[in-house]
Structure 1
Amino acid sequence: MLLGEVVAKVWPDKILPSLQGRRLVLVRPRGDGADLVAIDPLNVGVGTVVLVATDEAAAAATGVPTADAAVVALVADSATKR
């Protein structure tokens, strides 16, 4: 799992049937690491700090066997950052 900030919503031109109707967001990890696209079942907003599950944990959390990353917890919202 990793901690990161949602930096954008993602709108794909084409998508796998298993991801149809699922919201996707671009997450920038805190510290080192490349940005990643995650399934967002929590409907978080841009600027929100989130916990992202990866690999098998992401698949289990979303019920999508092909999921590599999924937002699983809201850590802080941009309005509550200090």
Structure 2
Amino acid sequence: MVVSDKSLVLLSRSFVNFKSLVLVSCEWFTTDGLAVIAANCRSLRELDLQQNEVDDDNGQWLSCFPESCTSLVSLNTCETCGKIS
């Protein structure tokens, strides 16, 4: 499935309180899109990125989760292609 950074931005702005995002076997999004999800979705409990092709644009997307964010319980990057810093 094709998922763009633009789609991730729209998702993060439209559904700021969602708790789970699962992307399996997707392509065309980058760590910039993941950074927006991390920064805007403060209720996110699960981020599952299995078997995706992710382009690493900035390398610092995990640091976009707010320091006070304690809601993230599960982060899965199993079999994800591309560099995940």
Q: TM-score range by the shorter chain?
A: under 0.3
TM-score, length of structure 1 as denominator length: 0.23
- Structure with greater Cα Rg: 1
TM-score, length of structure 2 as denominator length: 0.23
> Quick check: which one's helix share is greater?
2
